[in-house]
Chains A and B, each alone.
Chain A
Amino acid sequence: MPVRRGETLTVDRSPDAPGTVVVTGISRPLGARVAARLAADPRIRRVVGVDAVEPGPELVALLGGVERVLADLGSASTIIADLHAEAVVHLAVLTAPDQQHGGRTAMKEQNVIGTMQLLAACQQAPRLRKLVIRSSTAAYGASFRDPAVFTEETEPREVPRGGFARDILDIEGYVRGFRRRRPEITATVLRFAPFVGSTIDTTLTRYFAQPVVPTVLGRDPRLQFVHVDDALEVLHRSVTEEHGGTYNVAGAGVLALSQAIRRAGRVAVPVLEPGLSAAAGFARSLSVGRYGFDQVDLFVHGRVVDTTRLINEYGFTPRSTAAAFDDFISGHAGGTVVRADQLAAAEQAILDGIRRVRAAVEERS
């Protein structure tokens, strides 16, 4: 690469690293951490974080080097034009409705309408070179006829029931249209498996953090996770390097749900699926609760993706699903009901007991 090192410029500008990066969704932990990480990269001159909501105090501490703009995505076009942004990282995608902030309606507004507005702004931006979109493996939907492993080419067989999955399909549809209209812009769509990690708090980590975990009776889905630090690394590389296209981002390997619950030392409580779906529908109509059809479908069908393309193209291998989940367990050891060492001790105690009893019996005979 023609990087001219040793020049009097303040930073080395590799041809791929953009000068000004706009990051959306910095009021949420993922957006804030990505913005902070990009700001710490000397190749990037300026990082601007956009969000309609002020980030919480614990995130503000992270955002030292980031310029913050308080605006919704409707005014994104002026921001992106004024800043002469060269890259946009779109992370303002909500995975679950937030009941304090308008529930599902607001979630759809932000996910679908927000993305539409942002892409419209990007289409107008003359200096834009890169667009990175956060998507999810929920884009593959959930059907009984699905192949066991999804590659990036797999089309969903049915329109999913979950709100988030529908939003993801809409978002990816808009990105396809954008790619047609601005083919010279490198558009990267990252389909992330559910995030885990010792520090992150999501619907799924809260689910696994409970001591007693509800599951679907007669189903043991195959799950994959990605460690949030690996997700940050992939997002970072997507901005500083050239990787157009759609990529699955997940840790290699698979954990069955029952296995994950056991590894976390929790207790599974199987629930009948129709009951769970009814409960999810009921919770949605009352707009309470954290679990919806997205979670029920994941826990019936499971979801496993192929990450060969990511590994080959990025030259980066995320840590395995099992390793990522172990890190999550280490951060949430408090709710453990059964620990592995207790089981080992019980095993030893039973073996010793058998030996003692037999020794006593044979002593008598």
Chain B
Amino acid sequence: MSERGAEPRRGPRSDNTARDGSPPVNGKRIVLPPANPGDAIADGASRNGQRPAPPIDPAVADQPGDVWDRRIASGLAFLRRRLAGQYEVDEFGFDADLSEHVFHPILRLLYRDWFRTEVFGVENLPRNGAGLVVGNHSGTVALDALMLSAALHDRHPERRHLRLLGADLVFRMPVVSELARKSGGTVACNPDAERLLGDGALVGVFPEGFKGVGKHYSQRYKLQRFGRGGFVSAALRTGTPIIPVAIVGAEEIYPMLADVKPLARLLGLPYFPVTPTFPWLGPLGIVPLPSKWLIQFCPPIPTADLMDQADDPMVVFNLSDQVRETIQQALHRLLERRPDPFAP
């Protein structure tokens, strides 16, 4: 079908109009790396005023190799799929198609360009099969969970999705709840965690919960209490390795200077933050400060040999403490590598 558009232009003039095979975008031509070495030769040849070799001649604007054509076509195909409902949603509501094409591109801008995130220890994540990723939680707004899942999806060799476990407050809120489900999240409860792990998923959990996200700026990088260790018993019951992860940078995005408790109670929120920019600058206060982020995945802690002790509170607490210690030490090491929170 692309030949039809190309046909009328196949005159002598077409040689210099379609040299490198990209359409003019905003008046300037985007130079793309050639699809194959032959193209590069043809490119140079046409620049010298010679006719390119006939088989390469149709490498014009609307050939399948063209990046913008591909993008427009795949965008339209995505739109058609969405409008016709021709996509799959899993039993937790995870919409891989939407995550891949909408959520991750947006998150990638934040994690790569805004927060300049560096990721270490990706090799500690399981290539396939279940894994429980346990991280520190901070930042007033739980952007760290989203950045973690974006970084993991981008850097993991199998481009795996992290299935986040969220507080029920998230699932109480309209719109937010559906974004959470469609991006792979579900309510933090043992049946869901064990089900996901049993299916061989990579599950992300933040045992500090709101105690971690809603802590004062002066408490930054001090891990809070780890709850009842429900995440440990879920890992033990399914024999899933625990991968502690330390996230540095989220503490500085919305430094919480005060918590207006009466307002929080009024709105039914766990805290009402006051940051240097919120609520003073109004909507501008929503822009996170561009801190420098480091994410370190620590070596996995195997649990398969403890499967029969999932109900022993001593085992659960010890393991929970071990995970907490690992994250705290990794945080200290990362902070030494990043003396300036807003370093480039």
Cβ–Cβ < 8 Å partners of B73 in chain A = 351
Q: Is A362 part of the binding interface, using a Cβ–Cβ cutoff of 8 Å?
A: yes
Checking B17, B23, B189 against A147 with a beta-carbon cut-off of 8 angstroms, the contacting residue is B189
Question: Interface centre among A147, A219, A304, by most B CB within 10 Å?
Answer: A147
Say whether A347 contacts B76, CB under 8 Å: yes
Interface string of A346-360 (1 = CB under 8 A from B): 110011101110110
With A and B bound together, what is the CA distance between A146 and B177 in angstroms? Answer: 13
Dominant SS among interface residues on chain B: helix
Stretch at the interface among A37-45, A100-108, A199-207, A252-260: A252-260
With A and B bound together, what is the CA distance between A146 and B171 in angstroms? Answer: 10
Cβ–Cβ < 8 Å partners of A262 in chain B = 82-85
Q: Is A8 part of the binding interface, using a Cβ–Cβ cutoff of 8 Å?
A: no
Q: Is A363 part of the binding interface, using a Cβ–Cβ cutoff of 8 Å?
A: yes
Min CB distance, B256 to chain A, in Å?
26
Question: Interface centre among B84, B87, B93, by most A CB within 10 Å?
Answer: B84
Tell me which residues from 78 to 129 in chain B have a Cβ below 8 Å from any Cβ of chain A.
79-80, 82-93, 95
Tell me which residues from 4 to 45 in chain B have a Cβ below 8 Å from any Cβ of chain A.
4-6, 8-9, 14, 17-18, 23
Min CB distance, B194 to chain A, in Å?
10
Q: Is B287 part of the binding interface, using a Cβ–Cβ cutoff of 8 Å?
A: no
Say whether B174 contacts A273, CB under 8 Å: yes
Q: Is A75 part of the binding interface, using a Cβ–Cβ cutoff of 8 Å?
A: no
> Contacts A147-B191, A149-B195, A351-B76 hold; do A222 and B83 have CB atoms under 8 A apart?
no
Say whether B83 contacts A259, CB under 8 Å: no
Cβ–Cβ < 8 Å partners of A254 in chain B = 89-91, 93
> Contacts A259-B89, A340-B86, A351-B73 hold; do A362 and B174 have CB atoms under 8 A apart?
no
Q: Is A145 part of the binding interface, using a Cβ–Cβ cutoff of 8 Å?
A: yes
Min CB distance, A214 to chain B, in Å?
15
Tell me which residues from 266 to 301 in chain A have a Cβ below 8 Å from any Cβ of chain B.
273
With A and B bound together, what is the CA distance between A260 and B89 in angstroms? Answer: 11
> Contacts A254-B89, A259-B89, A338-B83 hold; do A350 and B76 have CB atoms under 8 A apart?
yes
Say whether A149 contacts B93, CB under 8 Å: no
Min CB distance, B11 to chain A, in Å?
9
Please give the number of chain A residues whose Cβ is less than 8 angstroms from any Cβ of chain B in the complex: 44
Say whether B5 contacts A358, CB under 8 Å: yes
Q: Is A261 part of the binding interface, using a Cβ–Cβ cutoff of 8 Å?
A: yes
Q: Is A220 part of the binding interface, using a Cβ–Cβ cutoff of 8 Å?
A: yes
Say whether B91 contacts A148, CB under 8 Å: yes
> Contacts A154-B191, A355-B5 hold; do A340 and B84 have CB atoms under 8 A apart?
yes
Checking B8, B77, B92, B178 against A220 with a beta-carbon cut-off of 8 angstroms, the contacting residue is B178
With A and B bound together, what is the CA distance between A34 and B82 in angstroms? Answer: 38
Checking A145, A253, A259, A350 against B168 with a beta-carbon cut-off of 8 angstroms, the contacting residue is A145
Min CB distance, B96 to chain A, in Å?
13
Cβ–Cβ < 8 Å partners of A261 in chain B = 85
With A and B bound together, what is the CA distance between A22 and B187 in angstroms? Answer: 43
Q: Is B61 part of the binding interface, using a Cβ–Cβ cutoff of 8 Å?
A: yes
Say whether A219 contacts B62, CB under 8 Å: no
With A and B bound together, what is the CA distance between A253 and B92 in angstroms? Answer: 10
> Contacts A144-B171, A220-B178, A351-B72 hold; do A255 and B89 have CB atoms under 8 A apart?
yes
Say whether B85 contacts A263, CB under 8 Å: yes
Q: Is B337 part of the binding interface, using a Cβ–Cβ cutoff of 8 Å?
A: no
With A and B bound together, what is the CA distance between A363 and B14 in angstroms? Answer: 8
Min CB distance, A141 to chain B, in Å?
15
Q: Is B269 part of the binding interface, using a Cβ–Cβ cutoff of 8 Å?
A: no
With A and B bound together, what is the CA distance between A343 and B180 in angstroms? Answer: 28
Say whether A259 contacts B85, CB under 8 Å: yes
With A and B bound together, what is the CA distance between A329 and B90 in angstroms? Answer: 21
Tell me which residues from 163 to 203 in chain B have a Cβ below 8 Å from any Cβ of chain A.
168, 171-175, 177-178, 181-182, 186-187, 189, 191-192, 195
Say whether B84 contacts A147, CB under 8 Å: no
| Beyond A145-B189, A355-B4, 7 extra complex contacts between A and B, CB < 8 Å | A144-B168, A151-B191, A253-B88, A302-B93, A338-B83, A347-B76, A355-B62
Chosen A-B contacts, 13 in total, with CB atoms closer than 8 Å, are A147-B192, A149-B91, A149-B92, A149-B195, A217-B174, A218-B174, A253-B88, A254-B93, A256-B93, A263-B85, A344-B80, A359-B8, A362-B14
* Interface residues of A, Cβ cutoff 8 Å to B: 144-149, 151, 154, 216-220, 222, 253-256, 258-263, 273, 302, 304, 338, 340, 343-344, 346-347, 350-352, 354-356, 358-359, 362-363, 365
* Interface residues of B, Cβ cutoff 8 Å to A: 1-2, 4-6, 8-9, 14, 17-18, 23, 61-62, 72-73, 76-77, 79-80, 82-93, 95, 168, 171-175, 177-178, 181-182, 186-187, 189, 191-192, 195
